[in-house]
Amino acid sequence: MGNSRLNARNEREDKAMKRALIPLMVVVSLVVVIYLMASRLPAIPESNKTGSGSVAGPIGLLEKPQVLPEFKFIDADNRSLSLEDFRGKVLLLNIWATWCPPCRQEMPSLDRLQARLGGKDFMVLPLSTDLNGLVSVTRFYKSAGIQSLGIYLDPTDDVSTALRVPGLPTTFLIDREGRTLGVRVGPAEWDSEQSEAMIRQQLQARPE
């Protein structure tokens, strides 16, 4: 009888210990996930200006342009595209989704930026990761009054995987050669004076 009581007590203590460990394991797992996500992107400079005095605006500029991995996406007509199709333009590649509140918040400013500066030399490239992409994006564009932005879709999330995007929205400034100049995680006022100055400076930059 004594052994039975002791065994039962030990079992209760084991169960209690396991229950106590579960929250700790969850916290540790979250910390590991956050660390891995943060380590995927290039380091973002703390300063808003590079050593050459160039304007960084809302994006942390990298010390050197970095070659991006190849990736494919589609447009509203289901045509397959890649960055090569936009070679020669300075791009602001914005990875977003309609279910993401910060993405929805910044989208009108991206639309205004495209309306002001968009053309043969510059383009805002908004890439939606929505599973039901075309329907969701078309509905959102209509409700938000988006008129100048095109519709580009990554329903399989392949681009986010290739670019190791840690969260939405994430925006890449890309030069005419298809290399990333800088990256921002989180929303911004893309039609601000700083943002426009950043874009204009890249438009005036000579190819390396």
Is there a domain that residue 75 lies in? yes
pTM score, two decimals? 0.75
Mean pLDDT calculated for residue range 2-15:
58
Are both 103 and 143 inside the same structural domain? Answer: yes
Are both 31 and 64 inside the same structural domain? Answer: no
Buried b (16+ CB within 10 A) or exposed e, 176-199: bebbbbbbbbebbbbbeebbbebb
Are both 176 and 145 inside the same structural domain? Answer: yes
Cα torsion angle, 182, 185, 188, 191, sign:
positive
Does residue 54 register a pLDDT over 50? no
Q: How confident is the model at residue 106 (pLDDT cuts 50, 70, 90)?
A: very high
Residue 82 domain boundaries: 60-204
Which of 47, 31, 27 has its CA nearest to residue 39?
31
Are both 9 and 81 inside the same structural domain? Answer: no
Q: How confident is the model at residue 44 (pLDDT cuts 50, 70, 90)?
A: very low
Which of 203, 47, 180, 205 has its CA nearest to residue 113?
203
Residue percentage of the chain with pLDDT more than 90:
67
Residue pointed to by tokens 């805002």: 124
CA distance 92 to 117: 11
pLDDT tens, residue by residue, 81-96? 999 999 999 999 999 9
Are both 71 and 11 inside the same structural domain? Answer: no
Is there a domain that residue 139 lies in? yes
Contact in structure between 126 and 118 (CB atoms under 8 Å): no
Are both 31 and 129 inside the same structural domain? Answer: no
Are both 76 and 126 inside the same structural domain? Answer: yes
Is there a domain that residue 78 lies in? yes
Are both 81 and 171 inside the same structural domain? Answer: yes
Is there a domain that residue 52 lies in? no
Q: Where are the beta strands (DSSP E) in the chain?
A: 60-67, 73-75, 80-81, 90-96, 122-128, 152-153, 170-174, 179-185
Is there a domain that residue 47 lies in? no
Q: How confident is the model at residue 8 (pLDDT cuts 50, 70, 90)?
A: low
Q: How confident is the model at residue 17 (pLDDT cuts 50, 70, 90)?
A: low
CA angle 115, 46, 193 (to 5 degrees): 25
Are both 83 and 30 inside the same structural domain? Answer: no
pLDDT for the residue numbered 205: 84
Name which residue leads in pLDDT, 39 or 165.
Answer: 165
Q: How confident is the model at residue 76 (pLDDT cuts 50, 70, 90)?
A: very high
Is there a domain that residue 53 lies in? no
Are both 21 and 82 inside the same structural domain? Answer: no
CA distance 120 to 106: 23
pLDDT for the residue numbered 55: 43
| Other Cβ atoms within 10 Å of 154 Cβ, number | 23
Is there a domain that residue 98 lies in? yes
Average pLDDT, the chain: 82
Are both 74 and 120 inside the same structural domain? Answer: yes
Q: How confident is the model at residue 120 (pLDDT cuts 50, 70, 90)?
A: very high
Compute CA 163 distance to the chain's CA centroid, rounded to the nearest angstrom.
9
Tally of domains within the chain: 2
Are both 23 and 105 inside the same structural domain? Answer: no
Is there a domain that residue 46 lies in? no
